[in-house]
Amino acid sequence: MTRSDPAPFLTIQGLSKTYGSFTALDRIDLTIPRGAFVCFLGPSGCGKTTLLRIVAGLDRQDAGRIAMGGVDVSKAPPAERDFGIVFQSYALFPNLTVADNVAYGLVNRRMTRDRIKARVAELLALVGLPDQAAKYPVQLSGGQQQRIALARALATSPSLLLLDEPLSALDAKVRLRLREEIRALQKRLGLTTIMVTHDQEEALAMADSVVVMNHGRIEQVGTPEAIYRNPATAFVADFIGAMTFLDGTVSPSQALRVGSVDLVCEGGRGFLPGSPVRLGFRPEEIRIGGVSAGDVNAVEVRVKSLEFLGSFYRARLEPRRDLGGSLVADVSANLFGDLRLAEGQSLYVALPPGALRAFPQAPAA
C-alpha cells in the first residue's frame, strides 16, 4: 500500500469490472466522507454488490483505484482494509456460542481473555442482547442473529462498516425495527458505513447519501430528499418512489405538448422546441380539490378506480382529453373524506408546473 494525498475517507476512481462480455462496473467515480451512511441502491444486476465486494477486497477490479483514509488499497488483500462486514445470511458459526462468534475476530489480536470477555460484553450490550452470550445461533430469532453479526463486525473497531443487504431476509416488522437500530448505532459511533440494498424505502430512511446504480454505472448521487424530489434521469425517477410518465414534445412557447394538451412545466426549460420528452410527476403531487377549469394545467378527469392503502387512497384517473395515458393520484385519508371521491365521478385536477419533470426520451431500440 502507498500513501496518497489527503482525501475523503473513501475515494473510488475509474473503477471497472467485467465478467466475460458482461460489464459489471463501468468507470465508477465516487467519494464518501468520513462518518457518512451511504446506500448503494439499484435493481438486481446493477453492480452494487460487486462494488461493495471490490471495496472490501473480496473481488478484484480490472481497472481503477481505491483509497481508504488516504491509503491506496487498490491491490491490498481484505485483511489490510480495516472493515467489518455483515451479510444477508448472517454467516454465524453454528457450532460457536454467541460470545465466541462475537469474539472470533479478536482471538488473533493477542488480547487477554479478560479483555476479550469485556469487549464481547460491551458489544452485546451495544446491540441490545446482553444476556444472550451463552446461547447458540439456532436458539436466536433472525433479528437477533443479525444483531450478533453486527456486533461481530464491530468487534475490531473497524473504520468502515459494510452491510450487504443485511435486512432482506427478515420479516417486515423486524426489518423496520432493526433498520432504526442500525441507523441509531451508526450515528452514535460515527462510523463510515456503506449498505447495499434494492429496497428504496430502506435507503431513503437510513442514508445520508444514496448512490443509485443501473447497468454498472452511477445514475445519481445525493441526499434521499434530493434523489426523490429532483431525480437526474428518468430511471432514477421511476426507480425511487411511484412516478407517472407521459410522452410529449416541447412546443415553440416552451410548453409541453402531451397528447392534445399543452402543459406548463418549469422543469422543461432547456429543451429545444420540437424535442421529444418524457414528462414525470409523482402521485402525491397531483392537486385534487378546489381546482377549476381555468387553473394552470387543469385537466378534467373521471375517477376510474380507488384503492384503499391505509393512510391514503390511490386514485386512477382517466383524462377527458387525450394525454397519452391515465393519471395516478394519492389522496390522504382526511382529504378523501372531505372530497367524498367516488368511482365514476368527474372533476378537475391540476398538475402543478413546479412538480413536473421533463426528461429526454430514450432513443428507440
Provide DSSP, 137-176.
GGGS-HHHHHHHHHHHHHTT--SEEEEESTTTTS-HHHHH
Architecture of domain 2-236: 3-Layer(aba) Sandwich (3.40)
Q: Which residue has the higher pLDDT, 139 or 337?
A: 139
| Whole-number pLDDT of residue 5 | 40
**Other CB atoms within 10 Å distance of the CB of residue 239:** 22
Q: Which residue has the higher pLDDT, 269 or 29?
A: 29
Architecture of domain 243-360: Beta Barrel (2.40)
280, three cell numbers: 414525470
Distance CA 357, CA 229 (A): 10
Asked whether the predicted pLDDT for residue 365 surpasses 60, the reply is: no
Residues 273-302: pLDDT tens digits? 888 999 999 999 999 989 999 999 999 999
Q: Which residue has the higher pLDDT, 66 or 90?
A: 66
Question: Which range, 50-54, 177-181, 273-277, has the best average confidence (pLDDT)?
Answer: 50-54
In the predicted model, what is the mean pLDDT of residues 348-358? Answer: 93
**CATH 3.40.50.300 residue ranges for the chain:** 2-236
- Judge whether 124 and 102 are in contact, CB under 8 Å: yes
Asked whether the predicted pLDDT for residue 305 surpasses 90, the reply is: yes
Asked whether the predicted pLDDT for residue 254 surpasses 80, the reply is: no
| Whole-number pLDDT of residue 83 | 95
Asked whether the predicted pLDDT for residue 251 surpasses 80, the reply is: yes
- Minimum mean pLDDT among 3-12, 25-34, 69-78, 298-307: which range? 3-12
**Other CB atoms within 10 Å distance of the CB of residue 279:** 24
pTM of model > 0.85: yes
| Whole-number pLDDT of residue 77 | 95
Please, what sign has the CA dihedral across residues 115, 118, 122, 127?
positive
**CATH 2.40.50.100 residue ranges for the chain:** 243-360
| pLDDT band for position 1 (cuts 50, 70, 90) | very low
Q: What residue type is assigned to position 197 of the chain?
A: T
| Whole-number pLDDT of residue 268 | 65
Distance CA 124, CA 155 (A): 10
- Mean pLDDT for the chain overall: 91
Asked whether the predicted pLDDT for residue 140 surpasses 90, the reply is: yes
Asked whether the predicted pLDDT for residue 245 surpasses 90, the reply is: yes
| Whole-number pLDDT of residue 306 | 96
